[in-house]
Amino acid sequence: MKLTERLRSLTRPVRSVPLARHLLVGLIAFLVVAAIIGSSSQYLQTRYAEMAFFAIAAGGLTVLTGLSGQLSLGHGALMAVGAYAATLVLERTGGETLADVFVALLVAIAVCAVVGVIVGVPAARLHGPYIAGATLTLAVAVPRLANQWEFLGGEQGLQVPVPRAAELPVWIQDLVWFFTAAEIDQYSFLAYLGWFLLILAFVALANLSRSRIGRRWRAVRDDDVSAELAGIHLGRARVVAFTVSAMCAGLAGGLMAMNVRLTAPGAFTITLSLTLLAAVVLGGLGSLTGALIGAGVLAFLPHFATDLGESAGLSATQAAEVTPVVYGLVLMLVILLAPAGIVGSLRMFLARSSLGQTKEKTT
């Protein structure tokens, strides 16, 4: 008992400060993920990297839709902006060093922040389906513009240079070997990079949601009239939420370009925006954990459905067509059985269980 109290007193400063708590959880999560990535096959490492950039985009969309109440159907277009910005920078710098990668990603975030402000200012005046309609226009227009501009590669797109594992700094290779006892290669490098940036993004988003800015977003979402009477500037709060979400989409787009090795308009259609929104709803609106679960479903379910179709005797083309059917069925089941999403419904179940136990103790 004394040892438990001693541990609680020692960890109280960390538990009382959200940033310190989130950083500690993020550090532990990255060490666990690094061990998993280092012991996985190249196929799984590719899936983990895919899950990482989907989770970053879904986390930004969770902030926008779940916390501030703005429905966006244009996040695929914002990912396209980030992907093209990162690709152009990597082409200019050569993409031979780790510094080139981070510069490209920072440029992608900055460009998407500017686009987020430009789109967010007029969108802040809209409500409900009108915001969805405006962002849907963005999702349709951006791939078509990229298809017409020659410096963006047109329909064929642009090749994305990424540094090889041998070109990485020696200290990174030694650090990976120390923690995982495995050499870093192209696949594991992209997985490590994606999850490192994912954890940083989620730590930042978690702190924003716990801060005064996050409380303003919730107030605007729940009752904008009461929020305005309380002195909250509605337009400013919505623009900030849209800009933060756009920055996450830009980072996700840059990582997606590096993983796919090709930035083309066909990868950023309206289907991507709708799929991201479905992943957020699947995991649970307003929850970063739900965004992570939805991204995992988004990354692994299509390949699982394809393998299932091929094992059932279907051709490769027929098995690929099974994927959207399986994804739609999973989404329907979650909506019917867990209307608040996986995480939201789990929280409701735990709350009811604890309430039931409390009532039993009082009686």
| 253-288 pLDDT, tens digit each | 999 999 998 898 888 888 888 888 888 888 888 888
Other CB atoms closer than 10 Å to residue 292's CB: what's the count? 22
Q: What percent of the chain has pLDDT over 90?
A: 25
State the pTM of this model. Answer: 0.89
CA distances from 343 to 236, 291, 292, 347 (A): 29, 9, 10, 6
CA distances from 149 to 8, 38, 109, 144, 250 (A): 60, 40, 22, 9, 20
Predicted local confidence at residue 48, as pLDDT: 94
What average pLDDT does the segment 3-16 reach? 53
Total count of residues recorded for the chain: 363
Query: Tens digits of per-residue pLDDT, 205-237?
Result: 999 988 888 899 888 888 888 888 888 888 888
Provide the 8-state DSSP code for 62: I
Query: CA 346 to CA 180: how far, in whole Å?
Result: 33
CATH topology (fold) of 20-268: ABC transporter involved in vitamin B12 uptake, BtuC (1.10.3470)
Sign of CA dihedral 188, 165, 265, 57: positive
Q: Residue type at 352?
A: R
Q: How does residue 166 score in pLDDT terms, banded at 50, 70 and 90? A: low
**Tokens found for residue 150:** 């020659």
Predicted local confidence at residue 54, as pLDDT: 94
Rounded to the nearest 5 percent, the helix, strand and coil shares of the chain are 85, 0, 15
Query: Tens digits of per-residue pLDDT, 349-363?
Result: 777 777 666 666 666
Q: Is the pLDDT of residue 60 over 90?
A: yes
What average pLDDT does the segment 298-313 reach? 80
Query: CA 227 to CA 221: how far, in whole Å?
Result: 9
Other CB atoms closer than 10 Å to residue 239's CB: what's the count? 21
Predicted local confidence at residue 5, as pLDDT: 58
Predicted local confidence at residue 10, as pLDDT: 46
Query: Tens digits of per-residue pLDDT, 314-347?
Result: 777 777 777 777 777 877 787 777 777 788 778 8
Predicted local confidence at residue 52, as pLDDT: 95
Q: Is the pLDDT of residue 23 over 90?
A: no
Asked whether the beta carbons of 256 and 316 are under 8 A apart, the reply is no
Query: Tens digits of per-residue pLDDT, 112-141?
Result: 999 999 988 888 787 767 787 888 888 888
Mean pLDDT of the chain: 83
Predicted local confidence at residue 16, as pLDDT: 56
Q: Is the pLDDT of residue 9 over 70?
A: no
